[in-house]
């Protein structure tokens, strides 16, 4: 029995989020430039999409570029943006044939024009697809997102559109970039780092966290199946006791 067959099809996370980490260290180990690590990281993106399609996961969110990543050397930032444009363009037909839609979360206005244009075209082209949604977090940070939500909600209160007593979890969720996307049940970080790094801080409230030593370019379908198998072994209590949820 392979790892996919061992997975309980009745307990598949609807939404998996991944912090793809370790491209730079992987490249260094190979005696290569960091950008080479990012380019091989695209292969791990393909593997993850295939695994999600095989399991029937509905949303796969990838932390692709954070608001803090602009502080990297210019060559690396430009290289990641070019890689993104190239990859979206190269993979468009394949994504379409797999009925995969594309969603971007983050400050798209701050992205280079070429990148924004490519993303907009791809979103439009894939807009009828609903088997899997690939959610790319680009120029994203959770504090930026939460700050915007607070600004919008306070404006609505100031303008008398809502009363502050009407501020609920649901109302806040609806002001986030992930509006209409269920919270991730499982978040994975590769490369042995145990941090959340400003990713989906509101949405992760009850997510199961899974950390693996595997560097992102080495991440294979099999690694995602292992993560889901591990997820299925967890008891998700949402603040209740074990006895209550049996």
Residues forming the active site:
21, 69
The full DSSP string for 70-124 is GGS-HHHHHHHHHHHHHHHHHHHHHHHHTTEEEEEES-GGGS-HHHHHHHHHHHH
Binding mask 113-142 for ligand FPP (x = CB under 6 A): -----------------------x------
By CB under 6 A, residue 106 contacts ligand FPP: no
For the chain, the C-alpha Rg in angstroms (whole number) is 19
**b/e string for 20-53 if b means 16 or more Cβ within 10 A?**
bbbbbbbbeeeeeebbbbbbbbbebbebbbebbb
Contact 14, 57 (CB under 8 A): yes
By CB under 6 A, residue 42 contacts ligand FPP: yes
The binder of ligand FPP chosen from 69, 96, 129, 230 (CB under 6 A): 69
By CB under 6 A, residue 85 contacts ligand FPP: no
By CB under 6 A, residue 87 contacts ligand FPP: yes
The binder of ligand FPP chosen from 12, 49, 51, 62 (CB under 6 A): 62
By CB under 6 A, residue 84 contacts ligand FPP: yes
Residues that bind ligand FPP (CB under 6 A): 20-25, 38, 41-42, 45, 62, 64, 69, 80, 83-84, 87, 136, 216
């Amino acid at each position: 029995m392979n790892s996919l067959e061992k997975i309980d099809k009745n307990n598949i996370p609807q939404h998996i989020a991944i912090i793809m980490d370790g491209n730079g260290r992987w490249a260094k180990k190979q005696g290569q430039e960091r950008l080479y690590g990012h380019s091989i990281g695209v292969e791990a993106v393909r593997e993850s999409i295939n695994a999600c399609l095989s399991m029937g996961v509905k949303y796969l969110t990838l932390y692709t570029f954070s608001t803090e990543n602009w502080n990297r050397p210019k060559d690396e930032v430009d290289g990641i943006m070019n890689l993104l444009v190239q990859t979206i363009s190269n993979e468009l037909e394949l994504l379409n044939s797999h009925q995969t839609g594309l969603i971007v979360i983050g400050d798209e206005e701050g992205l280079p024009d070429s990148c924004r244009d490519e993303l907009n075209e791809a979103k439009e082209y894939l807009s009828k697809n609903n088997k899997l949604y690939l959610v790319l977090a680009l120029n994203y940070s959770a504090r930026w997102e939460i700050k915007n939500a607070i600004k919008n909600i306070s404006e609505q209160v100031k303008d008398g559109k809502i009363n502050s007593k009407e501020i609920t979890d649901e109302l806040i969720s609806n002001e986030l970039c992930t509006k209409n996307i269920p919270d991730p049940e499982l978040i994975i970080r590769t490369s042995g780092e145990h941090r959340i790094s400003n990713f989906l801080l509101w949405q992760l409230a009850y997510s199961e966290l899974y950390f693996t030593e595997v560097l992102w370019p080495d991440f294979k379908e099999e690694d995602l199946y292992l993560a889901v198998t591990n997820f299925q072994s967890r008891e998700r209590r949402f603040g209740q006791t074990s006895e209550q949820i049996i």
